[in-house]
Amino acid sequence: MSEKSYYEILGVEKSANADEIKHAFRKQAMKYHPDRNPGDKEAEQKFKEVNEAYEVLKDDQKRAAYDRYGKSAFQNGMGGGNPFGGGFGFNAEDLSDVFSNIFSDFMGGGRNGGRAENLRGADLNYNLEITLEEAFAGLEKDIKIKTTEACSSCHGYGTADGSEAPKCETCGGRGKVRKQQGPFFVFETVCPTCKGEGRVVKDKCKQCNGLGITKTEKTIKIKIPAGVENNVRMRVAGEGEAGLRGAPKGDLYIYINVKEHKLYEREGADLYTAVPVSMVCAALGGKIEIPGIDHRKIEVGIESGTQTGTRIKIKGEGMPMMGARKRGDLYVLIKVETPTHLSKKQKDLLEEFRDLKDSDSCQPETKTFFDKIKDLFN
């Protein structure tokens, strides 16, 4: 077998979690599967290496032993440097039980055997971009995906007659065989006859060459719930690729990307926007209208004396909350706009306002500021 580490063989980091290891194994196993590489000895060797690596790394106890002692943790002999020779607190019965169940769920079904788990179809990913309005209302959408389906000729079994292949005589359909190593160690390894599949296809289907699957493109309808947020991942069960020779399908994962909006920014269920208001409206008070996310007109009251930076909360005009009947709130940030390109009459009126005796009393913040710093000029 390869001198590479088991992590390198699967193409994962040493810190990879169980799901990442499982996903990497499926990808590699599909790539180097003998049925996909007929007569390729190198692919067959890599397929064996991938199986060997997964058999250890998928089990927490065996992985811990491998991380500490390397492959020597699983070699023959109980003396000298064997890491299981002491210090673990196992008796002979414990050790036999632990190692007789090594790789117990490999190929799916554990002790009960069954259809090979590693033949399950691959998961598919689909990136979907939607508008904020669509996220508000929710939507149903037809999407096209490239995938695989069970072969129509053999019904997914890969056999010429379309019936399930007979169980492997070597392993009895379990996909694995046991080997006794030393007085305490019982290892389960991939069956060399069926390559871990539990069944042997003798006469292969000509349409799919015995794989049981064919490539296709199909359209499926997906439903996006109202209130969905950006970067959410949605799972559509059973809409991934077909499994090899009748194994279960994978899943489809929809990654939601909500496009930026011209008017609104979003934080959770709340919406935020900034609105310019004329100096006269801010000074005297008034009303403005803005379009809501649901396209209704929302009337915003401006109190007299409103300053730039004032934030007005409008309850219940935000986004829907997923799984609830409530909506978030809308926050409107006021920006008072200073007029430009004034006419002569407008300038004269403003000059008249500035010359009024009590004009400073209308601007308390300005008066307070200059009162604070007047001593600095003395």
In the predicted model, what is the mean pLDDT of the chain? 82
Compute the average pLDDT of residues 279-299: 93
- Residue 82: inside a domain, yes or no? no
Compute the average pLDDT of residues 89-107: 38
Mark which of 241, 260, 279 sits at the end of a domain.
Answer: 260
- Residue 364: inside a domain, yes or no? yes
Supply the pLDDT for residue 355: 83
Nearest to 184 by CA among 101, 89, 95, 102: 95
Read off the pLDDT band of 43 (50, 70, 90).
confident
363 and 219 in one domain?
Answer: no
What is the full DSSP assignment across 120-171? SPPPEEEEEEE-HHHHHH-EEEEEEEEEEEE-TTTTTS-BTTSSPPPBPTTT
CATH number at residue 232: 2.60.260.20
Compute the average pLDDT of residues 154-163: 90
Q: How many residues does the chain have?
A: 378
Supply the pLDDT for residue 183: 57
234 and 119 in one domain?
Answer: yes
Write the pLDDT tens digit of every residue in 176-204: 888 776 555 677 788 888 888 888 888 99
Domain containing 295: what range?
265-377
Percent of the chain scoring above 90 in pLDDT:
44
114 and 246 in one domain?
Answer: yes
251 and 125 in one domain?
Answer: yes
354 and 301 in one domain?
Answer: yes
283 and 146 in one domain?
Answer: no
Write the pLDDT tens digit of every residue in 71-81: 776 654 333 33
Residue entry with tokens 């100096």? 279
- Residue 99: inside a domain, yes or no? no
Is pLDDT larger for residue 93 or for residue 124? 124
- Residue 127: inside a domain, yes or no? yes
280 and 244 in one domain?
Answer: no
Mark which of 213, 233, 260 sits at the end of a domain.
Answer: 260
DSSP 220: E
346 and 246 in one domain?
Answer: no
Supply the pLDDT for residue 173: 85
What is the full DSSP assignment across 271-283? EEEEEEEEHHHHH
- What's the predicted TM-score (pTM) here? 0.60
- Residue 352: inside a domain, yes or no? yes
- Residue 88: inside a domain, yes or no? no
273 and 242 in one domain?
Answer: no
Is pLDDT larger for residue 346 or for residue 108? 346
139 and 231 in one domain?
Answer: yes
- Residue 83: inside a domain, yes or no? no
Write the pLDDT tens digit of every residue in 9-32: 999 998 889 888 988 888 888 888
Q: State whether residue 58 is helix, strand or coil.
A: coil
366 and 329 in one domain?
Answer: yes
Mark which of 231, 260, 289 sits at the end of a domain.
Answer: 260
The domain tally of the chain equals 2
Indicate if the alpha-carbon torsion angle 189, 192, 193, 196 is positive or negative.
positive
Phi, psi of 108 (to 5 degrees): 80, 145
Nearest to 171 by CA among 192, 157, 201, 186: 192
How many Cα atoms occupy the beta-carbon half-sphere of 141 within 13 Å?
17
- Residue 141: inside a domain, yes or no? yes
277 and 231 in one domain?
Answer: no
Is pLDDT larger for residue 217 or for residue 83? 217
Supply the pLDDT for residue 176: 85
